[in-house]
Chain A
């Protein structure tokens, strides 16, 4: 709520269409499980939001809905103003290809494929030519600090490096919105911290970031925290985070 007020205050200068908007969103699974129950949420462009909550609370459900990989059973999900429920498969795919980037707990790197090719596949569905995809992939790997690993295959990389390859793949298309579901879940503290640093850097560069984390410390570092419990948003530090961000810029 307070975010809305904030943006109202900056009317003349900021976009009116938020990155993400949930209006009364519920997600009921066929078995009758209410993974989400009437959630309202608004994430402005350029925000970084940590989603926290106990296991089974509905965090991944939120992220999947934002990522248009899932559809609500009630309510409306808008991503950059697009009503997700109203889009067909082609439009959703286009939205994902151009505007969304995903990072998963399990990195989902293709076995036996060189890092540069895997990252280049992040652009495959944008329609850019192969040469461009490769160039961008090298750039993206350089940005995540893996310039010297571009020809390595997943089994030749550490867990942290693999996750950085996955992040490079997620950002190679320069998405406006990056969604990370427990990106540090499979990593040790140090690599996890490096990955979180990377996400913060992306945020600083203007990417809207939604990250699910179990790690209290990383969550505390995020400008805004949304806490989910039993399918509802029970706490949102929106006001604080926006002020903090303003102070920074």
Chain B
């Protein structure tokens, strides 16, 4: 009754001809069930069966399922390393996405032209006709100029001591400035033709904060020099012209009339055809000051924004290095776990050999186990890294961005680490003598 019962199924399962188990003593009983046959000695070639990939996977995973705590602990090192690397990539990608969004909003077609210094180190000035000549360049779409008015301090009232004026700069500006910079008002409004010549002022974002201007009423006044100006508006931060954030902007007419402005431009903001921006950069200095083009300073504020982003690279490199070290330590942890596992499971190895596992099958089993262990850490690490990136992006108000290759790369890296870490233990397991393994401990 035992072992026999299903004679037919047995034969089929073995593919018929491979049966060495022809039993001489039982012909009469077994023959009618069809499992006898006149097979001879069973000297047919012996070929080990191949395990399906799924069986390899299942067998490799079985070792992990039996020891969950150890799995978690040894996968942790890998997880931390991968999480560090993924979050570095994710955070920098999110930062870049934010920068790109900002640049798309602000445009990369803004150029500033300012007087530089003379050959002898003195302050140069822009010629009066500079703006007009720039305006006439065919690539230029629009311009706006500002004049820095020296010597005029800004206070909320005459009761505030001079020392607390906060270094707020005063600029005489054109009405065009707002549109040229694509700046926006947070409170009140920008100048119009009427207010530009009156003692009216628009404050930059941080200047308004320092002066304590949080709302605008008809009697919100600030003192510039010794003249009271009515605050008509407050700007949002101007990313392409951060110098205007801590500034009080007055109409050019009022600046000349009331604050002694001279009419010399201290900066010309130029919007150009984005396709031809590099040509413009070459030519604009000569147009602004044909006699001394080297006394003109031309720059592109969007470059400065991008450069600020690039400055984070050192930190990124450091974090990536740390992640790499964690990953290395994690790999050593996996190797260590596998070595112990092989020692502990000598009985299992011997048993599997007795059940017909080839050395190759044992090798694959432990290799798969190491790779699965490492992969587990990797997948967890990618998830953790994504969460860190998400939180960071939320805090910074960035869009979340994590390039797909970071996830794929991390997973591939962990599988490779697992393979390397598991190689030696797997070879050892396969080399183990089945008897030694069975009679162990």
Contacts and interface: CB of A to CB of B under 8 A. Distances in A.
Interface residues of A, number: 68
Interface string A1-27: 000000000100111110000000000
Given A176-B23, A206-B23, A89 B359 contact: yes
Contacts of B28: 249
Interface in B199-231: none
Contacts, number: 199
Interface in A117-132: 121-122, 124-130, 132
Given A69-B434, A198-B2, A205-B4, A90 B358 contact: yes
A46 B24 contact: yes
B441 to A, nearest CB: 9
B24 A44 contact: yes
Contact of A108 (B4, B51, B65, B438): B438
Given A64-B435, A89-B358, A126-B356, A81 B347 contact: no
Contacts of A132: 13
Interface in A194-231: 198, 201-202, 205-208
Interface residues of B, number: 60
B2 A205 contact: yes
A139 interface: yes
Interface string B33-46: 00000001111011
B1 A121 contact: no
Interface in B69-102: none
B356 A125 contact: yes
7 contacts: A99-B19, A111-B66, A126-B13, A126-B356, A174-B14, A206-B29, A207-B21
Contacts of B13: 126, 128, 132, 136, 174
Interface in A91-150: 91-100, 102, 104, 106, 108, 110-113, 121-122, 124-130, 132, 136, 139, 143-144
Interface of B: 1-6, 9-10, 13-14, 18-30, 40-43, 45-52, 54-55, 58-59, 62, 65-66, 347-348, 350-361, 434-435, 438-439
Contacts of B27: 13
Contact of B24 (A14, A97, A171): A14
Interface of A: 10, 13-17, 44-47, 60, 64, 67, 69-70, 80-82, 87, 89-100, 102, 104, 106, 108, 110-113, 121-122, 124-130, 132, 136, 139, 143-144, 169, 171, 174-177, 198, 201-202, 205-208, 245, 249
Nearest to A95: B46
A69 B48 contact: no
Given A93-B356, A93-B358, A122-B355, A143 B23 contact: no
Nearest to A47: B25
Nearest to B361: A125
A60 B434 CA distance: 13
Given A15-B22, A44-B24, A124 B51 contact: yes
Contacts of B22: 15, 45, 176
A96 B354 contact: yes
Contact of B5 (A80, A127, A139, A175): A139
Contacts of A176: 19-23
B353 A80 contact: no
Nearest to A97: B356
B48 A125 contact: yes
Nearest to A7: B24
A122 B52 CA distance: 16
Contacts of B25: 44-47, 206, 245, 249
A69 B438 contact: yes
Given A127-B49, A174-B4, A175-B21, 8 more contacts: A81-B41, A82-B46, A93-B353, A94-B48, A98-B46, A122-B355, A130-B54, A174-B3
A9 to B, nearest CB: 13
B55 A124 contact: yes
Contacts of B18: 98
B36 to A, nearest CB: 10
